């Protein structure tokens, strides 16, 4: 019922690399973060495919990449529900051999090249999500038993030490796991089951990451300003009356400033002033005003120090 949204973090990382020189000290950090997010998305897609292809012999819905809040904001990779139960799947995508340590809880990855890495235990993440989801359901007067499992989506994963009390599955083991769960009582009424779907979609919030410059302490001055041409990828479109022109490939695009401003919000700062807009797009004060007023932006501050923030709920806009 809900597909993965494009990861805004990923968009921001790619856009930042496109505006930094390849020799920049943070370039390789951004690239490796991009690759790990892409691997994660690949893993979640494998899980999504298994869940979507399989025909379960009972009513069910699947939600991918769901961000909700109850006492605090929480994010679930996959939520599967039937009238009798809900299942939260936490997907992990790490190569090599894995140890789920209990005391203290930790995930230890030994890679084939001998490198050892330590992560927060997905068991802890899953238990926290189960608790928060159960609070979210009871706030809505919905009584649904919850289960959880960790899915290892990367084909070359080997579990050296599994967690003591949590199920760890490969993607093809998800359907039999779901079918093995108890279906006690009469389950949710069809009307409540439907209300639950509606409430999940209504409560979902797109996760808005911090701008890349803020997250990675990159000076704003290192970021190349300008409007990028969607056709040839070069930065440096020039403003003509009613449109933008690319001097490299000669293409015109009257909406090119929109993508450039989205890049600003993902890469540089979560707000923009008229002056910042002028400098980033290379336009005069009147054009900047017109552009800022034409976009789905929210005004903050008074006239003299007014700035604008992007309404990501209306993103991506046409």
Candidate segments 1-9, 54-62, 212-220, 247-255, binder of Zn ion by CB under 5 A: 247-255
Candidate segments 48-56, 71-79, 239-247, 302-310, binder of Zn ion by CB under 5 A: 239-247
How far is Cα 215 from Cα 209, in angstroms, rounded to an integer?
9
Q: What contacts 24+ positions apart, CB below 8 Å, involve 33-39?
A: 34/10, 37/7, 37/9, 37/10, 37/13, 38/10, 39/93, 39/154
Binding-residue total with Zn ion (CB under 5 A): 6
- Asked if 248 interacts with Zn ion (CB under 5 A), we say yes
Q: Are 96 and 156 in contact (CB under 8 A)?
A: yes
Site map for Zn ion, 17-56, x if CB under 5 A? ----------------------------------------
Shortest distance, position 249 Cβ to Zn ion, whole Å: 3
How many C-beta atoms surround the C-beta of residue 151 within 10 A? 25
- Asked if 246 interacts with Zn ion (CB under 5 A), we say yes
- Asked if 231 interacts with Zn ion (CB under 5 A), we say yes
How far is Cα 92 from Cα 90, in angstroms, rounded to an integer?
7
- Asked if 259 interacts with Zn ion (CB under 5 A), we say no
- Asked if 249 interacts with Zn ion (CB under 5 A), we say yes
How far is Cα 6 from Cα 29, in angstroms, rounded to an integer?
21
Among 232, 255, 285, 300, binds Zn ion (CB under 5 A): 232
Q: 161 or 232, CB closer to Zn ion?
A: 232
- Asked if 238 interacts with Zn ion (CB under 5 A), we say no
- Asked if 268 interacts with Zn ion (CB under 5 A), we say no
Q: What contacts 24+ positions apart, CB below 8 Å, involve 30-33?
A: 30/212, 30/216
Residue 92, SS3 per DSSP: strand
How far is Cα 159 from Cα 162, in angstroms, rounded to an integer?
6
Candidate segments 94-102, 191-199, 248-256, 299-307, binder of Zn ion by CB under 5 A: 248-256
N- to C-terminal Cα distance for the chain? 23
Q: 124 or 231, CB closer to Zn ion?
A: 231
Shortest distance, position 242 Cβ to Zn ion, whole Å: 18
Shortest distance, position 272 Cβ to Zn ion, whole Å: 24
Q: 246 or 283, CB closer to Zn ion?
A: 246
Candidate segments 34-42, 57-65, 102-110, 240-248, binder of Zn ion by CB under 5 A: 240-248
Is the peptide bond between 104 and the residue preceding it cis, with omega within 30 degrees of 0? yes
Q: How far is CA 218 from the centre of its chain?
A: 22
Identify the H or E element spanning 2.
Answer: none
How far is Cα 3 from Cα 205, in angstroms, rounded to an integer?
13
Shortest distance, position 229 Cβ to Zn ion, whole Å: 3
- Asked if 256 interacts with Zn ion (CB under 5 A), we say no
- Asked if 240 interacts with Zn ion (CB under 5 A), we say no
How far is Cα 183 from Cα 187, in angstroms, rounded to an integer?
8
How far is Cα 170 from Cα 61, in angstroms, rounded to an integer?
20
Among 50, 229, 256, 266, binds Zn ion (CB under 5 A): 229
Binding site for Zn ion (CB under 5 A): 229, 231-232, 246, 248-249
């Amino acid at each position: 019922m809900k597909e993965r949204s494009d990861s805004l973090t990923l968009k921001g990382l790619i856009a930042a690399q496109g505006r930094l020189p390849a020799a920049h000290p943070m370039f390789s950090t951004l690239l490796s973060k991009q690759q790990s997010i892409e691997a994660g998305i690949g893993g979640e897609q494998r899980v999504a495919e298994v869940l979507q292809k399989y025909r379960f012999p009972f009513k069910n819905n699947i939600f991918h990449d769901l961000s909700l809040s109850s006492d605090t904001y929480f994010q679930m990779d996959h939520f599967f529900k039937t009238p009798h139960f809900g299942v939260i799947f936490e997907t992990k995508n790490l190569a090599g051999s894995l140890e789920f340590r209990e005391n203290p809880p930790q995930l230890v990855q030994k890679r084939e090249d001998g490198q050892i890495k330590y992560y927060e235990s997905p068991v802890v993440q899953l238990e926290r999500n189960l608790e928060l989801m159960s609070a979210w359901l009871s706030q809505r007067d919905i009584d649904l038993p919850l289960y959880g499992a960790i899915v290892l989506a990367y084909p070359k994963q080997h579990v050296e030490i599994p967690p003591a009390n949590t199920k760890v599955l490969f993607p093809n083991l998800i359907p039999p796991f779901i079918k093995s769960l108890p279906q006690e009582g009469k389950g949710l009424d069809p009307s409540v089951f439907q209300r639950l779907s509606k409430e999940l979609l209504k409560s979902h919030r797109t996760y808005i990451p911090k701008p890349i410059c803020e997250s990675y302490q990159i000076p704003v001055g290192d970021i190349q300003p300008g409007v990028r041409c969607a056709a040839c990828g070069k930065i440096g479109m020039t403003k003509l009356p009613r449109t933008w022109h690319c001097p490299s490939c000669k293409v015109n695009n009257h909406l090119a400033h929109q993508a450039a401003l989205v890049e600003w919000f993902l890469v540089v700062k979560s707000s923009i002033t008229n002056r910042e807009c002028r400098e980033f797009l290379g336009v005069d004060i009147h054009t900047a005003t017109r552009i800022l007023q034409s976009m789905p932006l929210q005004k903050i501050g008074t006239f003299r120090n007014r700035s604008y923030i992007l309404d990501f709920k209306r993103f991506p806009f046409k």
